[in-house]
Chains A and B, each alone.
Chain A
Amino acid sequence: MPVEIPKDLVELLTSGVSILVATRDTQRLPEAVRAFAPVIAPDRRHLAIIVPSGPGDRTIANLKDNGRIAVAFSRAIDDLSVQVKGTSTDLRPTTDVDRTIVDRYHAAYIEGLYLIGMPRSLTSRFRCFPGTVVTVEVEGVFNQTPGPGAGKPFEAR
């Protein structure tokens, strides 16, 4: 049953934050990868991320197998974090149109990392493209900011 991403989270999720993805295979062996360039659908029940080719190949294979996915978003400057859980409903290769989204995201992302001391000379080389656009139907949104409340359903402030 899809749920809505709270309205006040949309800006955070699309502001160039770090994105971590977990999937698992048939044997429930987990797989971790970084993803990029999130887009929240107008209904806020779906979002799309780009999983880069190469580091993300096994992630895509897992999603083709079972679709189960967790996507964690974390702002570098203060570790404000949320996790979205759901099921992938569509997988497609990136196109030139996606490149624009990636470039805009990447510019914000490397500035966020620069604020915490990560050199742009390295972070600007993160390979975000080409890859696979993964559309996720949202089934739950959880608080993941470090602390005793991490893991509980996200409550809008």
Chain B
Amino acid sequence: MTTRPAKDLLVTHLPPAAFQGVVPAIIATSDAEGTPNATYLSQVFLIDDRHVALSCQFFNKTKRNVLENPHACVFLHDPLTFETFRLYVKYLRAETTGPLFDRMSARIEAIASHTGMSGIFKLLSADVYEVTSIEAIEDFLEPAPAEPPTDEPIRHRNELASLQLVSVRASRATDLEGLLSGVLQALHEGFGFEHSMVLLLDESSERLTAIASHGYGDAGVGAEVRVGEGLIGTVARERCVLRVMGVGQELRYGRAIRATVHRQAGPRALRPEIPLPGLVDAQSQMAMPLIVGDRLIGVIAVESRSLVAFDAWHEAYLDIVGNQVAVAIDNMMDRDRETEVEPAPSSDDAPVVSSTTPSMEEPAGRVLRFRFYEGDDCVFAGDDYLIRNIPGRILWRLLRAYESTGRTDFSNRELRLDPTLGLPAIRDNLESRLVLLRKRLAQKCPDVKLVSTGRGLFRLELGCKIVLEDG
């Protein structure tokens, strides 16, 4: 047998990817009578040089065995190279509260909530084991075929320059839309994050709405996630960073449990699986809460189709970026509120028609029908869903004002003072709602635009005739 001696290895020497669950680890145990048991592990969590924690979701045979006989053997693979290790471990204790439990639980909850299994598939305990010895199994694979040497240059990390790029984009942005698009673009250029999004929290509805995305084409903006659902919702609720590699494997595991519960208890025991925004075939996901003081602003999320796209250092750097972005968003919203200009007339009864408003020159002959469904709180453009909740009500208010008075110039301030819109009295996120509304209009009906005309002021520009109908 070809193994490296145990004394040479600590758990912290093993490849970090081996602890990501992409290739599930195997655990062998034995009961007091000497009957062995083999099964997969959901999570092997690295604690320190001499300790790991294993997830316990069910009081199963493995758990019963280690309570009788604390010795176990864990078979672990690096998913990128299939370097293989055996960890000989000894069960010490089960933690059911505390930071270790919370960290492991959040990851499981992200998958459980995605698969409609919250409360059923959950962490019972983080079981802490002492690692008594480690073997590196060096003949698990046949030797790789010889490859011709390449001239590929050695890639040096340039994280500081990348951080600088993000910082410059954030600090030079003049509005929220520019801030978010600039930061996401910089994350791509600097860190290679091809797919990313920023979701902001609407505290009144306990939902997060994507107001900026990168790498999803037209899709993404406007997508909603409830707090507590999926990776992003769990990050918002727990206010912790989550990094999940091998997402497909995690989902398969969750769905296997779901199928078992379905067989045993019937479909009524289960909530439906939740469609979440993002890549349908993502294999790596990482999300970070955006927090200012003790307030959650939103979540920044990145994902990839690669099995192991994000490492611990990505997490640390995204944390720095997230903190800066959170403060920048908050400052920008405060600044917009403080420097808003009072519009000349503030009532729909006193129409203001700019002489330069292109919309008031006869719009083109096309007609676009908008319908507001009050019961569902959403606006359709033609037959297509456009937008819902407060941004939908804002749009409807603007279109109604235009229809009845021909008015095209509006202010943020009058929107804030309009109780029918349902904006929260404090931290109303109006600017982010307008960003979302602008983006949805650009995607779905580009003939309707909200164009900034000064700080806190904007104009409705129409390139078509509109007809408004109540749903």
Cα–Cα, bound, A54→B142 (Å) = 12
Instruction: Let me know if A138 is at the binding interface, CB within 8 A.
Output: no
Contact among A68, A69, A83, A147 for B39, CB-based, below 8 A:
A83
Per-residue CB contact flags for chain A residues 7-39 toward chain B (1 = under 8 Å, else 0) read: 000000000000011111000111111100000
Interface of chain A residues 114 through 151 with chain B (CB within 8 A)? 116-118, 122-123, 125-127, 144-151
| A28 and B139 within 8 A (CB) | no
Contact among A79, A83, A148 for B58, CB-based, below 8 A:
A148
| A20 and B39 within 8 A (CB) | yes
| A127 and B139 within 8 A (CB) | yes
Shortest CB-to-CB span from B326 to chain A, Å, is: 34
Which residue of A is nearest B260, CB measured? A147
| A146 and B249 within 8 A (CB) | no
| B38 and A83 within 8 A (CB) | yes
Residues of A within 8 A of B248 (CB): 116-117
Interface of chain A residues 54 through 111 with chain B (CB within 8 A)? 54-55, 57-58, 66, 68-72, 74, 77-81, 83, 85
Cα–Cα, bound, A85→B30 (Å) = 12
Instruction: Let me know if B276 is at the binding interface, CB within 8 A.
Output: no
| B252 and A79 within 8 A (CB) | yes
| A34 and B75 within 8 A (CB) | yes
| B257 and A147 within 8 A (CB) | yes
| B1 and A21 within 8 A (CB) | no
| B34 and A149 within 8 A (CB) | no
Question: Which interface class (under 10, 10 to 19, 20 to 34, 35 or more) fits A?
Answer: 35 or more
| A32 and B140 within 8 A (CB) | no
Task: Tell whether A71 pairs with B38 under 8 Å between CB atoms, given A20-B26, A30-B28, A117-B248.
Answer: yes
Which residue of B is nearest A29, CB measured? B71
| A79 and B30 within 8 A (CB) | no
Interface of chain B residues 107 through 141 with chain A (CB within 8 A)? 137, 139-141
Shortest CB-to-CB span from B280 to chain A, Å, is: 14
Residues of B within 8 A of A145 (CB): 256, 259-260
Shortest CB-to-CB span from B353 to chain A, Å, is: 59
Task: Tell whether A30 pairs with B141 under 8 Å between CB atoms, given A145-B256, A146-B260.
Answer: no
Cα–Cα, bound, A68→B35 (Å) = 6
| A30 and B29 within 8 A (CB) | yes
Residues of B within 8 A of A66 (CB): 34
Residues of B within 8 A of A149 (CB): 260, 263-264
Residues of A within 8 A of B257 (CB): 146-148
Cα–Cα, bound, A20→B37 (Å) = 10
**Secondary structure dominating the interface of B:** mixed
Interface of chain B residues 20 through 38 with chain A (CB within 8 A)? 23, 26-30, 32, 34-38
Per-residue CB contact flags for chain B residues 136-153 toward chain A (1 = under 8 Å, else 0) read: 010111111000000000
| B256 and A23 within 8 A (CB) | no
Shortest CB-to-CB span from A21 to chain B, Å, is: 6
Question: Which interface class (under 10, 10 to 19, 20 to 34, 35 or more) fits B?
Answer: 35 or more
Instruction: Let me know if B297 is at the binding interface, CB within 8 A.
Output: no
Residues of B within 8 A of A83 (CB): 37-39
Residues of B within 8 A of A146 (CB): 40, 42, 57, 253, 256-257, 260
Contact among B34, B75, B144, B252 for A77, CB-based, below 8 A:
B252
Interface of chain B residues 40 through 73 with chain A (CB within 8 A)? 40, 42, 57-58, 60-61, 69, 71-73
Residues of B within 8 A of A81 (CB): 39-40
Instruction: Let me know if B385 is at the binding interface, CB within 8 A.
Output: no
Residue among B28, B84, B140, B257 having the largest count of chain A Cβ atoms under 10 Å: B28
Residues of B within 8 A of A127 (CB): 139-142
Per-residue CB contact flags for chain B residues 87-102 toward chain A (1 = under 8 Å, else 0) read: 0100000000000000
Task: Tell whether A24 pairs with B30 under 8 Å between CB atoms, given A32-B73, A71-B38, A117-B283.
Answer: yes
| B253 and A23 within 8 A (CB) | no
| A125 and B82 within 8 A (CB) | yes
Task: Tell whether A125 pairs with B141 under 8 Å between CB atoms, given A24-B30, A116-B252, A147-B257.
Answer: yes
Shortest CB-to-CB span from B143 to chain A, Å, is: 8
Residues of A within 8 A of B23 (CB): 118
Residues of B within 8 A of A74 (CB): 40
Minimum-distance CB pairs A-B, first 9: A147-B260, A22-B28, A22-B38, A32-B28, A79-B256, A22-B36, A30-B28, A54-B139, A24-B30
Q: Which of B's residues lie within 8 Å of A, judged by CB?
A: 1-2, 23, 26-30, 32, 34-40, 42, 57-58, 60-61, 69, 71-75, 79, 81-82, 84, 86, 88, 137, 139-144, 246, 248-249, 252-253, 255-261, 263-264, 283, 307
Seed contacts A54-B2, A72-B40, A117-B307; 5 additional CB < 8 Å A-B pairs: A24-B34, A34-B26, A81-B39, A83-B39, A150-B61
A-B CB contact pairs (8 Å), 30 listed: A20-B40, A20-B75, A23-B36, A24-B28, A29-B71, A29-B73, A30-B73, A31-B28, A31-B73, A32-B27, A54-B1, A54-B2, A55-B137, A70-B28, A70-B37, A72-B40, A74-B40, A78-B255, A79-B40, A79-B252, A81-B39, A85-B36, A116-B249, A125-B142, A126-B141, A146-B256, A147-B257, A147-B260, A148-B260, A150-B39
Q: Which of A's residues lie within 8 Å of B, judged by CB?
A: 20-24, 28-34, 54-55, 57-58, 66, 68-72, 74, 77-81, 83, 85, 116-118, 122-123, 125-127, 144-151
